Amino acid sequence: MNVLAIVGSYRKGHAIDTLVDRVLDGVRQNHPDAVVDKIHLADRHIEYCRNCMACKRDDPAKPIAACILHDDMDDILPKLVAADALVVGTPVNIGTVTAVLKTFLERACWTLAKPGHRPIEGCPVPRTAKPRRAVLVVSAGTVPPWLRWFCDDATKLLKSWCDSCLGAQVVGSLYAGAVLTRGVAPYEAKARALGRKL
Ligand SMILES: Cc1cc2nc3c(=O)[nH]c(=O)nc-3n(C[C@H](O)[C@H](O)[C@H](O)COP(=O)(O)O)c2cc1C
């Protein structure tokens, strides 16, 4: 099994990085032979999408549409397409994913998707039919789990991207709330369990 972890946190060794590692521990428990790659987006050079729509207009038969920009997405997009399972982690910043993750998602939109008609004409559908599974991990500094649905737009956005751009089935998600006071220890067991589900 080919597992790709995308880390949208700006910090290594903190909440999201740690919880993504726990998910990967769980993956290895069930799949000791899993090939695991972890990408810290903040370490990568990823330019902003220019909305030129060259990718959207590119041949729908191509698994990855051409982009006019050439940066680290050239390396990351084939890894996304090759992955059997994804782990995507992000802090909740101002209610949603971090800026670096949003930049990545915009670049991994029409390059991985083609115009379809789900739910309306022109919406993205995956270019590839390979079955994939995904687990989402989000952390929030102050908002506790019971208030999650008032402030966590990150999980909804990531589910939508997994579905419409990669056709990845989200098999579980973790919301680590109030990590500034609670730390991540209360959430580590659930993170491992999610990894086993992958
Ligand atoms: C610019 C910014 C905005 C933030 N917005 C929120 C927020 O809307 N809700 C919240 O609970 N925490 C918020 N936080 C706190 C982060 O969610 C918290 O520091 C993060 O989950 C920790 O992840 P990390 O340890 O991987 O960096 C914000 C932090 C920053 C830097």
Query: What is d(CA 4, CA 35) in angstroms, rounded to the nearest whole number?
Result: 8
Distance 113 CA to ligand 1 centre (A): 30
Distance 91 CA to ligand 1 centre (A): 5
Q: Determine the pLDDT at residue 149.
A: 87
Closest to 91 measured CA to CA, from 169, 37, 152: 152
Residues touching ligand 1 (Cβ under 6 Å) are: 9, 11, 14-17, 91-95, 139-143, 151, 179
Burial status of residue 61 (CB atoms within 10 A of its CB: 0-12, 13-18, 19 or more): exposed
Whether the link from the prior residue into 115 is cis, omega within 30° of 0, is no
For ligand 1, mutation pick of 14, 23, 142, 174 (most atoms within 8 Å of CB): 142
- Tens digit of each residue's pLDDT, the chain (198 residues): 999 999 999 999 999 999 999 999 999 999 999 999 999 999 999 999 999 999 999 999 999 999 999 999 999 999 999 999 999 999 999 999 999 999 999 999 999 999 998 778 888 999 999 999 999 999 999 999 999 988 999 999 999 999 999 999 999 999 999 999 999 999 999 999 999 999
Closest-lying ligand 1 atom to the alpha carbon of residue 138:
21
Two tokens, residue 164: 């419409």
Residue nearest to ligand 1 atom 20, measured at CA: 91
Residue nearest to ligand 1 atom 28, measured at CA: 93
Instruction: Identify the H or E element spanning 36.
Output: strand 35-40
Closest to 164 measured CA to CA, from 196, 116, 94, 104: 116
Q: Determine the pLDDT at residue 119.
A: 76
Q: Determine the pLDDT at residue 154.
A: 98
What is the topology classification, in CATH, of domain 2-197?
Rossmann fold (3.40.50)
Domain ranges of the chain: 2-197
